[in-house]
Structure 1
Amino acid sequence: MQEDGTAARQGSMALPAIGLTILSGLLYVLGYAASKSLVTDHGLSPLQVTFLRCGVILLAGLVAASWPGSRMSWHRLLRPQRAWEQRTAAAALVASNALAVLAYTLLSVTAASALGFTAPLLLALLGGLFLRERVSLGRWLGTSVGFAGMLLIVKPGGEASLPGIAAAFAGALTYAVYQILIRRLRDVATTRDTVMQVALVGVVLLAVPVAADWRPVSLLAAGLVVVVTLVQTAALASIAAALHRGEASRLAPWQFSGLLWAMALDALVLHVIPGAGSLIGALLVIGGGALAQTLKAPERRRV
């Protein structure tokens, strides 16, 4: 009976978790596209973009913490539960963000997205290894099918920038590590805690290197930084909330949906109509996510 109740609770949380994962994919695509503009059009460095985002979030959080009746707390910010784990997760995301901005700068948006979406495969693997989630055959097949669909959509093999490729893969790995740690911390850290720890750790880690290579920030660039911060903070909150509701390995295939948003953005902004291969890839992405939900791991026998 207890197992039935647990299964029912997991089922009731599955759809919201999937929806939040898909939303985070849309927001991340929009945020990183705007971040690329800050580097290529406004002359900022990838580290500076990440530092400014963290600074805006931290400033807003500190103001909120000082407001009477606010749910923000200085104590939770400065002395969080399992502080080392929370701050290690935050450092992983800060590194992932900086690497992703660098990758988007060195590669085309579609190629950077393609390489960055190796994170779901890494997440499925790490979820089984470190969270002891039972990664069923369906989840492996779903993730693999989604990955194959991603390759059909973006065809990344023609990219020649090895530093860009390395940055994209490293960003994917650190993002997968972040999600694993957040899943482990789901009982002690809220989404708000996660956002604020990332902001605090980002400011502390990046202050010195950014100050050493500070580049002027125009009024237009400052406004775009605020927009990027709002969009990517919403993406971060969405994926953190999803991981509070669902297993990391089960949600992994749905993260490929970000490529569908990238295709739609290309069609709307650049008027690039996807070909047959891309459309087949889109179907594989959707099918992979569905497959991961339908084929479950076999029940373990009781001894």
Structure 2
Amino acid sequence: MQAISENTRGALLMTLSMAAFTLNDTCFKLVGKTLPLGQVLFLRGVMASLFLLMLARFFGVRWPDLSRKDTVLIAVRSFAEVGAAFFLLTALMNMPLANLTALLQMLPLTVTLGSALFFREAVGWRRWGAIVVGFCGMLLIVKPGAEGFNLFSVYGLIAVAFVTLRDLTVRRISASVPSLFVTIAASVSVTIFAGILGTQEDWLAMGGREWALIGATAAFICVGYFLSVLVMRVGEVSHVAPFRYTGLVWALILGFVVFGDWPGNLTLIGAAIIVATGVFTMWREAQVRRRLRKIQAAGL
């Protein structure tokens, strides 16, 4: 039997990672119907942080000697993770799963936009065009001014902004800092925030169903983190990255099967536009990177 290629293995790991994160969202949405946000987020955070610490021990990740710059960047990333968790999960409790997941598919576009605006990275007219078209797709999903538009649509967009800040910050952290360490710092920060948020809520008694769902959401998010770490080590980024959009397929399936939700035609069209422009943007970025490597190699 012929062994599968590294790119195929990476694509499979990315697909499974997206499935795990979407299952986490599904379980969180289910348990969030009966328990307050802070309580669920804190208990999940404790479980997930313990797992990530064990994972770090398994991979031999040790506390790095951080520069002042990396310390600040990790703090900013952790802040962004806290903001993303609050706004994303609040929106998740009040929006169809697929609609919110479709908004999150804008990340390759918003990260490219942020890189151009804040880091002065060169972005050609093709990628600028893809960003504009992608934002038009976003408008089809949130429908500003329409009856379906509400505060939680805004929360979803704010979550996208926080996740964009998180991903932009990661690009500036030194390569010597283990990615798993950065993830642990973010997980602990979210857990601390959730504990503070929980003091403002009335915690409710939990039965077997609630414990099972919180355990499941912690397990799925940990599996997602673990697979995302493995993905970084397997295959070419340009080949593997587009498979992150399988998260939208999982969200459509689970949203329909578990919650009976199916997006309207405009939402589906908007999601298709965002996915198409996102894939194009990643393809163009891969082309630019290859061209730069060839120029650098020729200069040597």
Same fold (TM over 0.5): yes
Contact 2:113/2:131 (<8 A) preserved? no
Matched to 1:230, the amino acid is A
Say which SS state the counterpart of residue 134 (structure 1) adopts.
coil
CA distance change for structure 1 residues 17 and 132 in 2, over 3 Å: closer, same or farther? farther
Instruction: Give the drift of 1:278.
Output: 6.8
Question: What's the counterpart of residue 214 of structure 2?
Answer: 225
Say which SS state the counterpart of residue 234 (structure 1) adopts.
helix
Distance 2:7 2:122 in 1: 16
Worse-superposed segment, 90-99 or 173-182: 90-99
Kindly indicate whether structure 1 or structure 2 has the higher relative contact order, using CA contacts under 8 Å at least 6 residues apart: 2
Distance 1:277 1:207 in 2: 39
Q: Percent identity?
A: 21
Instruction: Give the drift of 1:153.
Output: 7.3
Question: What's the counterpart of residue 60 of structure 1?
Answer: 51
Instruction: Give the drift of 1:275.
Output: 7.7
Question: What's the counterpart of residue 172 of structure 2?
Answer: 184
Contact 2:38/2:194 (<8 A) preserved? yes
User: Aligned match of 2:249 in 254, 260, 263?
Assistant: 260
Distance 2:30 2:188 in 1: 25
Contact 2:97/2:255 (<8 A) preserved? no
Where does 1:194-233 land on structure 2 (aligned, <5 Å)?
194-216=182-204, 217-233=206-222
Q: Does 1:292 align with 2:268?
A: no
Distance 2:267 2:20 in 1: 21
Matched to 2:27, the amino acid is A
Contact 2:133/2:277 (<8 A) preserved? yes
Instruction: Give the drift of 1:51.
Output: 2.0
Distance 2:166 2:37 in 1: 19
Worse-superposed segment, 258-267 or 96-105: 258-267
Instruction: Give the drift of 1:176.
Output: 0.8
Question: What's the counterpart of residue 33 of structure 1?
Answer: 26
Say which SS state the counterpart of residue 188 (structure 1) adopts.
coil
Matched to 1:233, the amino acid is C
Instruction: Give the drift of 1:175.
Output: 0.7
Matched to 1:55, the amino acid is V
Matched to 1:47, the amino acid is G
Question: What's the counterpart of residue 96 of structure 2?
Answer: 108
Distance 1:212 1:153 in 2: 33
Deviations 1:140-194 (A, max 9, x none): 44455555556667868542432x1232111111111111112222503323212
CA distance change for structure 1 residues 193 and 230 in 2, over 3 Å: closer, same or farther? same
Instruction: Give the drift of 1:103.
Output: 0.4
Instruction: Give the drift of 1:285.
Output: 5.1
Contact 2:48/2:221 (<8 A) preserved? no
Where does 1:77-226 land on structure 2 (aligned, <5 Å)?
80=66, 82-145=70-133, 157-162=146-151, 164-185=152-173, 187-216=175-204, 217-226=206-215
| TM-score, structure 2 normalization | 0.71
Contact 2:45/2:191 (<8 A) preserved? yes
**Alignment gaps of 5+ in structure 1:** 1-11
Q: Number of paired residues?
A: 280
**Alignment gaps of 5+ in structure 2:** none
Instruction: Give the drift of 1:226.
Output: 2.1
